[in-house]
Amino acid sequence: MGKPTNKQLTNSKFGPWGWSMILYAFLLYYFWAGLSVDALNVYPEAFAALHGWDPNVLLGFATPAGIIGVLGGIVFGRLIMKTGARNLSAVTLIVTGLIYILFGRVSSPTMFLVCLTLFTFMANAFGLIVTSTLMNNWFPRKKGIALGWATMGAPFCTATFVAIISGLFGRFGIPNACAIVGVVVIVFGAASFLWVKNYPHDVGAYPDNIRDEGVDLKAQAEAVHHYKSPFTLGKLLRDKDMWCMALGFGLLWMVTVGIVSQFVPRMISVGNSQPAALMMLTVAAVVGLFGSYFWGWLDQKIGTKTASVIYSASYIIALLLLIFAKLPIFTYIAIVFVGLGIGGLLNLMPSMVISVYGKYDFTAANSLVSPIASLLQKFAFLIMAVLLGKSGGDYTLPYGVFIVIDVIGAALLLCVTGKCKGKQDETQQ
């Protein structure tokens, strides 16, 4: 077979093993988003009610826990080059499950902070590092479509996990509910040792499920296993493309978090009841399932850089719609645009790193791009809180600032060269 056709690169024919890895990555995104992101809607009030603690103090712990957790991305981003995706995923899932069981039995706010920080730290390994590495290893050319399916795990989590964990807390109590979830995560981690294959050639499959004539799978396996990336931390820190991607996507991620985290309060502020506002967020999350695939498809059709700029433009539209959300028609359209963006960034960011650094050097580059971007988005809460304080609760000011941040993020991404600077193999050419 010669060069793959456009149809081959945009279809979803991944083969049985390929679909298995996509499903696995879907579940990793689900558990990462559920345990360390979405469930923050539940933890403070639930633990405060159980122990008589101040829920605002517990909520405030999310920021330092998240920032320290980002360090996990850097540590595990370098470690995965030695351990491989399977071993790192399995071990960090098992450790996360154990910590989560302990989390349900904390007896002080300090222990709450320690456990929250520890499992957030671990979750960044399988949720941000393993997922993108696995998709890079299996789908270096169909990365957009593959990530489009896999990242559906995040919006699906937003639509379901809060209800699930709230139901478990209510029925079994926090200690037993956390034990149930922890055991599920541990079992999932143990199964990973048998389930996950680091590379398609480990099971006699071809990258992207596209058979390339003249490609020796055994030779390719040897090349991959013995490859040592020249992109050291020092070299990456001096690389303009790395900074443009990390800061650009970090700013877009900040905008996404700022919008989604305050979506329910904004809907309430324009006259909707809390149940109605929560239902609107659920609808947006369901739209996000389609959005994940849409951004992956668009990435594959027109290129990652262009798709990323269109993504940023879509959230400018979402912000403008939210500013004028007092009009019901704008509210309904805003739900669609907010939903479309929920699953997009987790797709586009690793895809662009793959495009620029290639299959072999992706893991090294992603060890900095993903953590730096993740660190930047943590400031969304602080910016939103300060600006809402200055505006007296009026969302026009923070949304206007986020539009400026969005434009800066898009401009940084436009500065990325887009040229693969890493080692390539036959299947990438």
- pLDDT greater than 90 at residue 221: no
Distance CA 23, CA 2 (A): 29
CA distances from 259 to 6, 255, 343, 361, 403 (A): 35, 6, 13, 33, 11
pLDDT one-digit tens code per residue, 369-424: 988 998 888 888 778 888 888 888 888 999 999 999 999 999 999 999 866 666 65
216: left (phi over 0), alpha (psi -120 to 50) or beta: beta
pLDDT at 426 over 70: no
Mean pLDDT of the chain: 87
Per-residue pLDDT tens over the stretch 6-39: 676 767 788 899 999 999 999 999 999 889 888 8
How much of the chain exceeds pLDDT 90, in percent?
37
pLDDT of residue 428 exceeding 70: no
The Cα 139–Cα 8 span in angstroms is 12
CA–CA separation, 118 and 96 (whole Å) = 8
Higher local confidence (pLDDT), 79 or 41: 79
- String of DSSP letters for 240-278: HHHHHHHHHHHHHHHHHHHHHHTHHHHHHHTT--HHHHH
Cβ atoms 294, 148 nearer than 8 A: yes
- In DSSP notation, 396-422 reads HHHHHHHHHHHHHHHHHHHTS-----S
Confidence of residue 166 (pLDDT cuts 50, 70, 90): confident
Residue 217: the pLDDT is 67
Task: Return the pLDDT at 263.
Answer: 81
Q: C-alpha dihedral over 290, 291, 294, 298, to 10 degrees?
A: 180
Tell me the helices (H) and strands (E) count for the chain, helix number first: 21, 0
Is 60 exceeded by the pLDDT of residue 59?
yes
Q: What does the pLDDT look like over 113-142, one tens digit per residue?
A: 999 999 989 998 999 899 989 998 898 888
Mean pLDDT (whole number) for 78-101: 93
Range picked from 21-35, 69-83, 314-328 for highest mean pLDDT? 21-35
Residue bearing the bigger pLDDT, 304 or 5? 304
pLDDT of residue 93 exceeding 80: yes
CA 21 to chain centre: 16
> What would the pLDDT profile of 234-278 be if each residue is shown by its tens digit?
888 999 999 999 999 999 999 988 888 778 888 888 888 878 888
Mean pLDDT computed over 175-200:
95
Q: Mean pLDDT over residues 82-106, rounded? A: 95
Tell me what pLDDT residue 1 has: 45
Q: Does the pLDDT of residue 279 top 70, yes or no?
A: yes
| pLDDT the model gives residue 240 | 92
Q: How far apart are CA 260 and CA 248, in angstroms?
A: 19
